[in-house]
Amino acid sequence: MVGQKWKMAVDRTKVRRELREAVVDLQERGVCTAAKWAAEQLVGLKAADGASEEEGTKREGNTDAYLLARTYFDLREYKRAASTLEGEKGAKSTFLRLYSRYLAGERRKEEQMLEDGEACVNEELEGIEREIQGAKDPHLLYLLGLVLLDREKKEEGKATLVESVTRYPCNWAAWQALQEVPQPPTVGLLPDHWMTQFFVAANCLENGDENERGLDQYTELQSVFPNSEYILAQAATAHYNLRQFDEAQNLFELLHRKSPHRIESMDTYSNILYVKEAYAGLSHLAHSAILTDKYKPETCCIIGNYYSLRTQHEKAVAYFRRALKLNRNYLSAWTLMGHEYVEMKNPEAAIEAYRRAVDINPRDYRAWYGLGQTYEVLRMPYYALYYFRQATKLRPGDARFWCAMGQCYESEELNMQDAALQCYKNAESKGDREGIALAKIADLYRKRGDYEAAYLYNKKNIERLDVDGVCNADVVQTLMFLTQHCKGTGRLNESEVYCARLLDYGGNHREDAKSLLKEIRLLKIHSEKEAASEDVDDDDDDGDMSMSD
């Protein structure tokens, strides 16, 4: 009763047991602040009999200090978590203490970068490395691997992470860290475990020309994990990387129906909708993402793509910047922001954005390609060529990059026609979807006077244009060359066919085609008369020979 003094008789052993149960129960249900309160009371409880407390801890698994530290960790109070575990023994407590120090250092590094605008380092790294050097626990090895990578000890970090996943294969975070090293380990160094297939498949998607192999890996994994949203998202991403946009869209739509509140990977889905100019679909996806989690980096990128499609580039940049405030290492936002600055005719800002992207992930071929395009706009072909080469090394099967290199070699500054020709031929052999290569090859052969080679490639090009159903100036130009060349080389029937097609196009081309068609038909008549005359002469010669006999 209020105002009345009373004394509570407490069985501390029972209270301790109830509080320990409460911490675990509340954590499991996500009620983190209540779990933290219960853990603080647990640690603040007057000590019971030492033997019984130690026995209870052994039976229940975790110390009171660990339970409290875990509640602090869940609430991202990393320094409190680390200090709570000072003096605690055991691999689990040691890992949580040092991992908390690591994350506290990462947070401080980000804060300093925002304050100073300069690159900073995690000041906890050296101390953590010193303390766990030589560890055997797989989780401590994972943490040591992260520290070594951050300290630019790449090979040592890679070896440590391989040891970690070998000892404990189901830590996906360790596999992800391995993906980020410049040269990921070969399969022979990895454990004979089903998790290795997940790693191999994910790594294939990072390597430009291995997406088909990655897709095969995910198809196999899907037979074991048929309901995995992760595998479905990765398969869709593989199709996107292969520029199979219809297949990718179908899989992403299936994923969105299965999990309408999923944000992860939906930024890639928005890229597909952007490429296909699906205004309604992108608007719906952006609205759905806002209702789910307005302040996720992926949501900001989806909205940025929506504004970009509507050519509201300033708003798009604002949302990409917002995504980067939430996650400075969010690769897609840097690359997409670079694209926007190109559209806004701001090449300096575009270059800075693309450079940030390749600093985060040197295997991001889109950012290298973006740098090349930007320097090409600035009429700096030597720089552009360097960046296009980097993109081509990462993705040698992408015809776009070979075409881009060819255009650099063709530029007035370089004027290296042979190198340009070889690049375009490489592009054509890689399945040039944009149809740039064939026309370029034909034009280069025409310029060097090899008209027969130009004829062969123009013929291939018109066949491609017909299959694609294209009706534009390129078709007219190609038909005109074929008409003139066939006329000049005596292929009059073929020339007539090409010329007749030019009549379907309006403007001056139609009038030119009419004149050409008359010439071709006159030439055909003349040619037929000559052929008939030759036949008569041959008959006369045969008659003379028979009379002499």
| 397 plus 517 within the same structural domain | no
| 35 plus 174 within the same structural domain | yes
| 388 plus 409 within the same structural domain | yes
Q: How far apart are CA 163 and CA 179, in angstroms?
A: 15
| 366 plus 402 within the same structural domain | yes
Instruction: Let me know if residue 281 belongs to a domain.
Output: no
**Nearest in space to 18 (alpha carbons), one of 67, 69, 66:** 67
To the nearest 10 degrees (0 to 180), the angle between helices 417-429 and 399-410 is: 170
- pLDDT given at position 524: 82
Give the end of a domain, one of 179, 198, 221.
Answer: 179
Give the angle subtended at the CA of 373 by the CAs of 372 and 376, to the nearest 5°.
85
Domain count, the chain: 3
- pLDDT given at position 51: 43
| 23 plus 134 within the same structural domain | yes
Q: From the centroid of its chain, how far is CA 176?
A: 15
Do the Cβ atoms of 281 and 269 come closer than 8 Å?
no
Instruction: Let me know if residue 545 belongs to a domain.
Output: no
> What residues have CB less than 8 Å from 182, skipping those under 6 apart?
154, 362
Kindly list the distances between the CA atom of residue 319 and the CA atoms of 1, 264, 286, 313, in Å, as whole numbers in the listed order.
56, 17, 12, 10
To the nearest 10 degrees (0 to 180), the angle between helices 473-488 and 508-548 is: 20
**Nearest in space to 441 (alpha carbons), one of 466, 410, 413, 472:** 410
Do the Cβ atoms of 356 and 337 come closer than 8 Å?
no
Tokens linked to 212: 């088909």
- pLDDT given at position 532: 62
Instruction: Let me know if residue 272 belongs to a domain.
Output: no
Tens digit of each residue's pLDDT (9 = 90 or more) over 445-477: 999 999 999 999 999 999 998 888 888 888 999
| Region at 117 (left for phi over 0; alpha for psi -120 to 50; beta for the rest) | left
| 416 plus 491 within the same structural domain | no
Three-class SS state of 31: coil
Give the end of a domain, one of 179, 194, 212.
Answer: 179
Do the Cβ atoms of 129 and 174 come closer than 8 Å?
no
φ/ψ of 188, rounded to 5, equals: -60, -25
CB count within 10 Å of CB 475 equals 18
Domain around 510 = 471-525
Tens digit of each residue's pLDDT (9 = 90 or more) over 482-503: 999 999 999 999 999 999 998 8
Q: How far apart are CA 475 and CA 478, in angstroms?
A: 5
Instruction: Let me know if residue 380 belongs to a domain.
Output: yes
| 74 plus 104 within the same structural domain | yes
| 450 plus 483 within the same structural domain | no
Tens digit of each residue's pLDDT (9 = 90 or more) over 321-363: 999 999 999 999 999 999 999 999 999 999 999 999 999 999 8
| 489 plus 453 within the same structural domain | no
DSSP 2: T
Do the Cβ atoms of 437 and 402 come closer than 8 Å?
yes
Q: How far apart are CA 494 and CA 500, in angstroms?
A: 10
- pLDDT given at position 542: 54
Instruction: Let me know if residue 5 belongs to a domain.
Output: no
Instruction: Let me know if residue 28 belongs to a domain.
Output: yes
Instruction: Let me know if residue 148 belongs to a domain.
Output: yes
Ranges of residues in the chain whose predicted pLDDT is under 70: 1-10, 47-61, 530-549
CATH number at residue 78: 1.25.40.10
- pLDDT given at position 60: 47
Instruction: Let me know if residue 93 belongs to a domain.
Output: yes
φ/ψ of 194, rounded to 5, equals: -65, -25
Give the end of a domain, one of 113, 144, 179.
Answer: 179
**Nearest in space to 354 (alpha carbons), one of 327, 372, 379:** 372
| 494 plus 411 within the same structural domain | no
Q: How far apart are CA 219 and CA 226, in angstroms?
A: 9
| 517 plus 368 within the same structural domain | no
| 395 plus 498 within the same structural domain | no
